[in-house]
Amino acid sequence: MTPTPTDILRDAIEIARWAPSSHNAQPWKIVRLPDIETAGLLFPHLNLDGDGEHLLLTLDSNRRLRALPSLEHEMYLSCGMFTGLMCMALQAWGIPWRMHWIYEKTGPALRDLEMKLQCRTLALLTIAAADAADLGNPTDKDRLERLRDLAYKRKTHRGPFAARQLDEGSVTALSTSSWPQTLTGDALHIHIEHNHSAIRGASDLVSRFAKLDFNKYRVWKETYGYIRFDPRKKAEDGFYLQCLFGPMNGLRRWYLRGMLSPAVMQALWLVSVPQRIARQLGALVAESPLLLFGYVDDEHPAAPTLVQAGARLMELWLKAQSLNMALHPISVMLQHEDARRALEHHMGVNGRLVFFSRLGAAPETGCDSPRRAAADLLVTA
């Protein structure tokens, strides 16, 4: 049976919901506009035509991280990861789409809708009706299943990487891009660092600054709220404790739950526990064969620029997965201005760092993180 456009949209969302996001907060919401008249009212300056469906890609105000202003960048990047996967899934289905990025201040009709739905619009996505002939095309089906497989298998690996040697060709292939530029933009620069002494220097900075994750009560409280301590309890977001610290028994889980709690962490600052955790993270960085840096020229990039950068990073992360490589972002270095500037200076980055990650050979096993149901991601205006 030929799938309907709604089936296809649902399937694209099903694939996209496996996108990575900061704290696994999944801060995205798709708003389906009922008709072209509504779209025209919301975007009077755009020349929209009547064909297909109009969807708003938005940042869900109730799901965004708020403890630090810099987390806003991570929210946009995360939405970009989702958007990238969704659009590429539509493309593999043979569905043409068009993206209007929303840079300018929004008009009153859109503002009212955003207030009502508690979201911020990042883009208007128009998807055209599918040509039935395209849907049966096996090349597209292969592409679709390959994308689905990569999206499901990709995971964040926070432990040591596999000892396997990485071949140079694969590393070079990582930063080549084939996703449409209307999706990824061209603002994000990628740098992959191999040099051992540069990696060592970055690891020293992580050892020095990563304790900042814990020193502000409000910031750590927000992060702590995303840790899922009981692996048997069903969750829809956040990360399981064992994804952070590896497999463990119930006793250790119970101990860590208490030790990591925000009030205890404040006290443990006095006996340098956060400092020790930071040094452990620094040691992991030192052992990484590669580091990945994403940066933009603009010190204050606009939201859509960061969403596009997120889509570009999604492409790269899936390519890494296809080459049996893994990433582990270390965002604490970007969340605090002094840490970020020190890293930019050390790496000679001429611009603003927006993504920093360990990169290496994927270990045999990974750790699964929960996701929200696909049906919860789509609402109608």
Ligand X SMILES: Cc1cc2nc3c(=O)[nH]c(=O)nc-3n(C[C@H](O)[C@H](O)[C@H](O)COP(=O)(O)O)c2cc1C
Tell me the closest approach of the beta carbon of residue 155 to ligand X, in angstroms.
4
Sites for ligand X among residues 79-138 (CB under 6 A): 81
**Exposed e or buried b per residue across 89-100, where buried means at least 16 C-beta atoms within 10 angstroms of its C-beta:** bbbbbbbebebb
Please give the residue whose beta carbon sits closest to ligand X in the complex: 20
Tell me the closest approach of the beta carbon of residue 197 to ligand X, in angstroms.
24
Tell me the closest approach of the beta carbon of residue 24 to ligand X, in angstroms.
3
**Closest alpha carbon to 78 in 237, 198, 276:** 237
Tell me the closest approach of the beta carbon of residue 81 to ligand X, in angstroms.
5
With CB under 6 A as the rule, give the number of residues binding ligand X: 18
Tell me the closest approach of the beta carbon of residue 188 to ligand X, in angstroms.
12
Tell me the closest approach of the beta carbon of residue 74 to ligand X, in angstroms.
4
Sites for ligand X among residues 263-302 (CB under 6 A): none
The answer to whether residue 78 forms part of the interface with ligand X (CB under 6 A) is yes
The answer to whether residue 330 forms part of the interface with ligand X (CB under 6 A) is yes
Sites for ligand X among residues 42-61 (CB under 6 A): none
CB of 369 closer than 8 Å to CB of 24? yes
- Cβ-in-10-Å burial (0-12, 13-18, 19+) of 191 comes to middle
**Exposed e or buried b per residue across 260-275, where buried means at least 16 C-beta atoms within 10 angstroms of its C-beta:** bbbeebeebeeeebbb
**Closest alpha carbon to 22 in 85, 81, 69, 102:** 81
Contact segment (CB under 6 A) with ligand X among 152-160, 249-257, 271-279, 288-296 equals 152-160
- Closest to ligand X by CB, 156 or 207: 156
Rounded-to-integer distance, Cα 319 and Cα 306, Å: 20
- The contacts of residue 74 (CB under 8 Å, 6+ apart) are 22, 65, 331, 334, 335
The answer to whether residue 20 forms part of the interface with ligand X (CB under 6 A) is yes
Contact segment (CB under 6 A) with ligand X among 22-30, 101-109, 138-146, 266-274 equals 22-30
The answer to whether residue 239 forms part of the interface with ligand X (CB under 6 A) is yes
- Closest to ligand X by CB, 25 or 110: 25
**Beta strands of the chain (E only): which ranges?**
28-33, 53-60, 97-101, 119-127, 189-193, 227-228, 239-240, 290-296, 325-329, 352-361, 378-380
Tell me the closest approach of the beta carbon of residue 106 to ligand X, in angstroms.
24
Contact segment (CB under 6 A) with ligand X among 21-29, 119-127, 168-176, 372-380 equals 21-29
The answer to whether residue 24 forms part of the interface with ligand X (CB under 6 A) is yes
Rounded-to-integer distance, Cα 228 and Cα 238, Å: 7
User: What single-letter DSSP state applies at residue 60?
Assistant: E
**Per-residue CA distances from 82 to 9, 278, 311 (Å):** 13, 30, 7
The answer to whether residue 329 forms part of the interface with ligand X (CB under 6 A) is yes
- Closest to ligand X by CB, 100 or 154: 154
**Closest alpha carbon to 110 in 124, 129, 91, 97:** 124
**Closest alpha carbon to 335 in 8, 67, 135:** 67
One residue of 156, 203, 305, 321 binding ligand X per CB under 6 A: 156
- Closest to ligand X by CB, 23 or 340: 23
**Closest alpha carbon to 235 in 244, 245, 225:** 225
- Closest to ligand X by CB, 54 or 154: 154
Contact segment (CB under 6 A) with ligand X among 7-15, 76-84, 203-211, 301-309 equals 76-84
The answer to whether residue 369 forms part of the interface with ligand X (CB under 6 A) is yes
DSSP structure string for 227-282: EE--TTS--SSSEEHHHHH-S--HHHHHHHHHHTSHHHHHHHGGGTHHHHHHHHHH
- Closest to ligand X by CB, 105 or 300: 300
Tell me the closest approach of the beta carbon of residue 118 to ligand X, in angstroms.
21
One residue of 17, 54, 100, 155 binding ligand X per CB under 6 A: 155
Cα torsion 31, 235, 84, 193: sign? positive
Query: Binding residues for ligand X, per CB under 6 A?
Result: 20-24, 74, 77-78, 81, 155-156, 158, 239, 329-332, 369
